[in-house]
Structure 1
Amino acid sequence: MAPDRGYRPVAASSEARESLQSRPEDAAQLLAARADEPQNFTLRGILVGTVIGVVILFSNTYFGLQTGWISGMSMPSALLGFAYFKTVSRWIGFPFTPVENVLVQSVSGAVGSMPLACGFVGVFPALNFLLTADENGPLRVGMFKLIVWALGVAFFGVIFAVPLRRQVIIREKLKFPGGTATALMISVLHNDSGDAKIISQTTAKNDPDGNASDGLAGFSSPEMPTVEEPDAGDGNQADWRAKIKFLLSAFAGSALYTLVTYFVPQIRDVPIFGMSLAQNWLWTLNPSPAYVGQGIIMGPATTLHMLLGAILGWGILSPLAKYQGWAPGSVGDWETGSKGWIVWVSLAIMLADSLVGLGWLALRPIVLYGPELASDIYGLFQRHDWKEVIMLKTRLNPGYLAVDGSEDAETPVSLKFAATEEEEADAPAEHLISNRTTLIGLLLSLVLCMGAVHYCFGKLMPVSLTLLSLFMALFLSVMGVRALGETDINPVSGISKITQLLFAFIVPRGDKNAIIINLLAGAISESGALQAGDLMQDLKTGHLLGAAPNAQFYGQLIGSTVGAVVSAVVYKLYTDVYTIPNSLFQVPTAYVWVFTARLVTGQGLPPAVSEWAIGAGLIFAATTAFRTWARAGGKSRQKFLNFVPGGIAVAVGMYNTPSFTLARAVGGVLSWYWTRGKGRSETKLVVLASGLILGEGLLSIVNLCLASLKVPHL
């Protein structure tokens, strides 16, 4: 699934709001000064970011194989980087600055997201373990080929994001709420050094308080996050020592729990609703500290929507399918049981959500501005105003459309596109990525990807189809970046499903490799969209803080290289030591991938599932349409977002067993109680969640070693 990038924003402090409203004339000076700082690209920043990223990578592989959901961890990465350098500040030669923190979180994010970007939590488990002999599987792929594949898909999305930066960040000033929240946190963390200004984004002119007007992640209040303002001097140092101790305590507690679960695996499935529901219907609780931490980061709305999915899937549809004879096998069986039956319904929900969301993103300019624009163009032709017609190309930019209602009613829409403020101030030219570098890098990365796919799957995936999948990936990456910039959701799962659907019309159904081609094409699209979105989110953070874009770009490339190799090795270790799938690593996303491929290539569906899937798809198409309409409006509409379930969240809760969803719901409720009920700062919760997630993720390595040595359970 898509990495979680939405950190629930609540009301910002007045100081933080003021920092977001620096005068435009100061922005260019601040950008130039910070972009010239030597700390933009440092060896220590690369190393610390890599170490943090590797820890996140282990966590994401471990949790991704369990539930298919990974966390981007941008804010925790910035927090961990700051905590480390704060601890060793007396021994380092020069101060740790905001722009260096941007580098740290960019590198760590690139490393940590590779398990999803390379398909090691979804596509490869499907290829390696779930394909039947009729589908020309299962495939056995060695370590070296896994590394070659990972390096092949690791770069083209990163490089393709570069030319999009000026359009979506500098011209249209899309908010990228997760990146903006990370920038605000970094700014506040470094406030004691007097270097905490954030470049203003002038698009939020409708809101006198300087708050962004779009909802975040569809589950959020439209405000910026609350963070604690550190005190200056020794008090701040003592405060951060306390936070570091808190982080280490959470890490230690989670690590201890993980070690205990190896020897007593029964504690992963606590029958909180009685033994009958636990044994017959899989209603148990996994009291994992890490899943509670993930719930904290996801927030109450997302986790409660996932809980709704669990209730619909495992509380209603599963018993119904069992008693009606539609899924006669054991409830936990993917092939004949209700577990496999309800995944088709969740798949329909995901497809409906993705098609409506991405469809609106593609058609919105035409729907909103098409009729009036066509009328204006027709009028210009009637008046033979050829100069104005020629100039239309430079004016058709929706990001420049004035929205305050102050335009002259008689002004043609073509002129309204050109109205409003000037472009955002940008970094000096020497700190941008040149067009030549971008073009050469993009060509090389595309050739590398084609070569890697041919080397690993040459007899199964024709070169022509690899090239087609790459072009589709680039096109769909634009939609993913725009969706992330506007809603804080990068719909990579939906993008991959759309690619699978399109390839079903391209590859003949009689082709014995149709399923494999379908999976590989979807994996390439998902990788490109994920990497492009991750870099753009980080570039937004860097722009707000004045970091040099080329330093972030090269940091991302380094992180992607390390992450590709390490993620391939870690995936191979897990699959060699554990039997996949099993009760711990259920690889639900792999089943979603292979079921999608089977669906679009014309294989049969279980009894009665088509009616329920179509009905669920229509319902959640309507909810997605409503959420899209609400996000496009003001606060009067956005207040309903939390009460209308999102399709992706419901689908995840439906295809995961309840044990994982219940733990995340606990974290979401805890987050709500702390930030809304108690009105406390979110910073301490981020510290807690980071420790809980990383403690279990890192100690999973110890459990992996114990399993490889065949140490017995108690």
Structure 2
Amino acid sequence: MTPPLPQGRSFTVRGVAAGLAVGTVICAANMYFGLQTGWVSIMSMPSSLMGFAVFKLLKPYLRFPFSPVENVLVQSVAGGMAIMPLGCGFVGVIPAMNYLLGADEQGPLSLSTWQLIIWSLGLCYFGVVFAVPLRHQVIIRERLRFPSGFSTAVLIRVLHSQGQSSSPKELDAAAKGGFASLVPKDDGPMLVDESDPVVEEEEPPAPKDLDWAYNMRLLLLSFLISGIFTISNYFLPILRDLPVFGTVAASTWLWTLNPSLAYVGQGIIMGTETTLHMTLGAVVGWGILSPLAKMKGWAPGPVDDWESGSKGWIVWVSLAIMLVDAIVSLAYIAFRPIFESHVVRFASALKRRFRHRRLAALFGSSHRYSPIPAQEERDEEEEENQSSTLRDDQSSAIEEESDGWDDAPVEQQVSSRIVSWGLLASVLVCVLATRVVFGDLVPLYAIVIAVLMALVLSIMGVRALGETDLNPVSGISKLAQLFFALIIPQSHKSSVLINLVAGAISEAGALQAGDLMQDLKTGHLLGAAPKAQFWGQIIGATFGAVFSAFAYHIYTAVYEIPGKLFQVPTAYVWIFTARLVTGQGLPYMAKEWAMGAGALFAVTTLARTLSVGRPWRSLIPGGIAVAVGMYNVPSFTLARAIGGIISWYWLSIRKQSTTPLIIVASGFILGEGFLSIVNLWLQAAKVPHY
């Protein structure tokens, strides 16, 4: 059976150009914030809105209208660019190699711009190619929801269906449905005869929160406000560190507030639960552990010193929390099917045993025969057998659907030949690029193992993202570092460098395969050709890799890194992890506190994992969020907490729509990230501060 194909062209040159333009803005913002705090965002929803706005303004000049599937292409290209600062290691691994690697660790390494480009091109492909075979399993067969990808599909559907909306039940059914399940049913022909003039159709009024013009005005207004505030920060640096808790707390213990609208926007997107858990981490780390380490003499240096101060001491505690969270979470994802099947069987056996005992007590325990099962038990066994048969029938039906109309037409899919040769070529490119950049410092066998491990860990990342909307790339990279510490001798002269490279490769694969799977989910629901999305992501990744290399080189040439503005905290996390797992010593008493924190968060992470869907789950601290609150200074965390509180007020108290809030938050982030380029020029020109 052939699916009802949506109208429009899935791949166009103009769509690629628009995606690259939007992706450049997001990529620049991600480089800026990544160097500051390690946080990046793919921003699929703003990409779709900006792409729609551009083509809406150009509508009188278009030969054929801008369709939903073309909008999917725009956000796929933009997403491929957006994640490259993190995917290529420019916000963590590369600064660690450039500035933090010691002389006895084959560092610090000075990589030229061309070396950075070769390295980033080596890392930007194999995760994209590997996402294609994973797509059939997690989207077509298992029909994982991928919340962000589903939300983006709903937004695109609303934009292109003139504000029409569906009930929550209809949307939920569509999220688990087949190919093009979110295509508007009244979608008319999209292509226009070139000989006919474009006819302007009068559109019915849409609800305010679904009106593209209203949302675009919100985006532009928040963009400008944040951009103006960013430029003001250059001339008034005091605005970055307000001593809201007094001068002593600010100067001695680093308790300040950076009222960055972009950080507030990040907090809005992260949500109330995550930001409050980050605040808990800041309170424990900077309000309790930091003063304790300083006063006890465990970290006698200045608080903001990474080597001898409590800033570097508490990062070991946060690192232990991140490692434990990663191991517990990924172990659950890997072994959950086995675990759940055994639990179900055990519960069923226990239930039957209890009933047998109850019957034995009823008839007397001295009998040496087994009592005849009660009618209730026989009925239940029959129901279980019927339901098992029904599940098998449903599974077979789903498999039949997956081979037929549930997926895109064969001619729109990426062929198995392209996947096979593309995966082989991308792996070879990664190995060759790493070899060219690092030479004999990183053995060939280590590079090959790192790529193969990245492919395995990508499966865990994709599944976690599809179910929880969280891609645990930081935990995946730490797990890879831990694994390589076991296979690379500690006596090896480049053991720390090898550890960094292996973790970077694993992170790149998991990040690309996971986050780009969100785009594939969006395209699946809207009926976009997977082949068009694949090539769009390849193009976006290529441009993003090159752009990120140049952007990193410019930032490092103009600013002091690590410095007060760009502290690159994730670079310290990377280097400290490498030193920890390769057997180097920890600061005094850091080992004991790290082990205690690890044991505590092993319990909390397991509790959070097993309590998905429970109302009290948000009260259990999340390990990654608490750890991020520890290794980032409080000024960043407090601003994000403000955003989380705003999100709670808007959604829980005011009961308003999520869409305008996300749009405003995205404008705040893009405004500071993009107009920080102006600050870059001012810094390069040595314009004085006030």
Q: TM-score, normalised by structure 1?
A: 0.84
Q: Report the counterpart of residue 550 of structure 1 in structure 2.
A: 531
Q: After the TM superposition, which residues 250-329 of structure 1 pair with which residues of structure 2 at under 5 Å, given as runs?
A: 250-329=222-301
The amino acid of 2:407's aligned partner reads D
Q: Report the counterpart of residue 3 of structure 2 in structure 1.
A: 29
> What displacement does 1:680 show?
1.2
Distance 1:487 1:360 in 2: 13
> What displacement does 1:245 show?
2.7
> What displacement does 1:708 show?
1.6
CA distance 1:554–1:412, change in 2 (3 Å): same
Q: After the TM superposition, which residues 155-304 of structure 1 pair with which residues of structure 2 at under 5 Å, given as runs?
A: 155-192=125-162, 232-233=203-204, 239-304=211-276
Q: After the TM superposition, which residues 419-438 of structure 1 pair with which residues of structure 2 at under 5 Å, given as runs?
A: 419-420=394-395, 421-422=397-398, 423-424=401-402, 425-438=406-419
Question: Does residue 611 in structure 1 map to residue 592 in structure 2?
Answer: yes
Q: 2:15 aligns with which of 37, 40, 45?
A: 45
Q: Deviations over 1:140-176 (max 9, x none)?
A: 0000010000000100011011111111111111111
Q: Report the counterpart of residue 319 of structure 2 in structure 1.
A: 347
User: Mean alpha-carbon deviation: is it higher for 267-276 or for 39-48?
Assistant: 39-48
CA contact (8 A) 1:372 1:413 kept: no
Distance 1:145 1:370 in 2: 51
> What displacement does 1:29 show?
2.7
The amino acid of 2:301's aligned partner reads G
Question: Does residue 509 in structure 1 map to residue 490 in structure 2?
Answer: yes
Question: Does residue 660 in structure 1 map to residue 631 in structure 2?
Answer: no
Q: After the TM superposition, which residues 50-69 of structure 1 pair with which residues of structure 2 at under 5 Å, given as runs?
A: 50-69=20-39
Q: Deviations over 1:449-503 (max 9, x none)?
A: 1110000001211111110111101111111111111111111111100110010
The amino acid of 1:367's aligned partner reads F
CA contact (8 A) 1:39 1:97 kept: yes
Q: 2:111 aligns with which of 136, 141, 150?
A: 141
CA contact (8 A) 1:98 1:195 kept: no
Structure 1 vs Structure 2: percent identity of aligned residues?
Answer: 57
2:441 partner SS: coil
Distance 1:321 1:193 in 2: 57
> What displacement does 1:672 show?
1.3
CA distance 1:418–1:407, change in 2 (3 Å): farther
Q: Deviations over 1:412-468 (max 9, x none)?
A: 979956644524511111111110010010011011111100000012111111101
Question: Does residue 676 in structure 1 map to residue 676 in structure 2?
Answer: no
The amino acid of 2:40's aligned partner reads I
Distance 2:386 2:483 in 1: 41
CA distance 1:415–1:139, change in 2 (3 Å): farther
Q: Deviations over 1:97-151 (max 9, x none)?
A: 2111111111111101100000000000000000111111100000001000000
Q: After the TM superposition, which residues 72-151 of structure 1 pair with which residues of structure 2 at under 5 Å, given as runs?
A: 72-151=42-121
Q: After the TM superposition, which residues 402-551 of structure 1 pair with which residues of structure 2 at under 5 Å, given as runs?
A: 408-410=383-385, 419-420=394-395, 421-422=397-398, 423-424=401-402, 425-551=406-532
CA distance 1:626–1:193, change in 2 (3 Å): closer
Distance 2:54 2:276 in 1: 34
2:63 partner SS: coil
Distance 1:414 1:710 in 2: 74
Distance 2:116 2:19 in 1: 24
Distance 2:171 2:472 in 1: 28
CA contact (8 A) 2:49 2:216 kept: no
Q: Deviations over 1:558-608 (max 9, x none)?
A: 000000000010011111111110011000000000000000000000111
1:409 partner SS: helix
Q: Structure 2 unaligned segments of length 5 or more: list them.
A: 183-201, 349-379
> What displacement does 1:406 show?
11
CA distance 1:407–1:443, change in 2 (3 Å): farther
Distance 1:498 1:505 in 2: 11
CA contact (8 A) 1:199 1:546 kept: no
Question: Does residue 651 in structure 1 map to residue 632 in structure 2?
Answer: no
> What displacement does 1:73 show?
0.8
CA distance 1:144–1:253, change in 2 (3 Å): same
Distance 2:389 2:343 in 1: 12
Q: Report the counterpart of residue 668 of structure 2 in structure 1.
A: 692
> What displacement does 1:92 show?
2.5
CA distance 1:193–1:281, change in 2 (3 Å): closer
Distance 1:141 1:161 in 2: 30
CA contact (8 A) 2:49 2:212 kept: no
Distance 1:160 1:243 in 2: 35
The amino acid of 1:170's aligned partner reads I
Q: Report the counterpart of residue 642 of structure 1 in structure 2.
A: 618
Distance 2:105 2:166 in 1: 56
> What displacement does 1:624 show?
1.1
Q: After the TM superposition, which residues 584-623 of structure 1 pair with which residues of structure 2 at under 5 Å, given as runs?
A: 584-623=565-604
> What displacement does 1:86 show?
2.5
Q: Report the counterpart of residue 10 of structure 1 in structure 2.
A: none
Distance 1:247 1:160 in 2: 34
Q: TM-score, normalised by structure 2?
A: 0.87
Q: Report the counterpart of residue 566 of structure 1 in structure 2.
A: 547
Distance 1:525 1:274 in 2: 43
> What displacement does 1:56 show?
0.6
CA contact (8 A) 2:162 2:206 kept: no
Distance 1:673 1:203 in 2: 28
Q: Report the counterpart of residue 227 of structure 1 in structure 2.
A: none
2:418 partner SS: helix
> What displacement does 1:688 show?
1.0
CA contact (8 A) 2:35 2:568 kept: yes
Q: Deviations over 1:54-103 (max 9, x none)?
A: 11111111000000111121112112222222233233232222111111
CA contact (8 A) 2:150 2:175 kept: no
Q: Report the counterpart of residue 688 of structure 2 in structure 1.
A: 712
> What displacement does 1:518 show?
0.2
User: Mean alpha-carbon deviation: is it higher for 315-324 or for 704-713?
Assistant: 704-713
CA distance 1:137–1:546, change in 2 (3 Å): same
Distance 2:151 2:132 in 1: 21
CA distance 1:453–1:204, change in 2 (3 Å): closer
Q: Deviations over 1:323-375 (max 9, x none)?
A: 1111111000001111001101111111111100000111112212258889x
CA contact (8 A) 2:24 2:82 kept: yes
Q: Report the counterpart of residue 14 of structure 1 in structure 2.
A: none
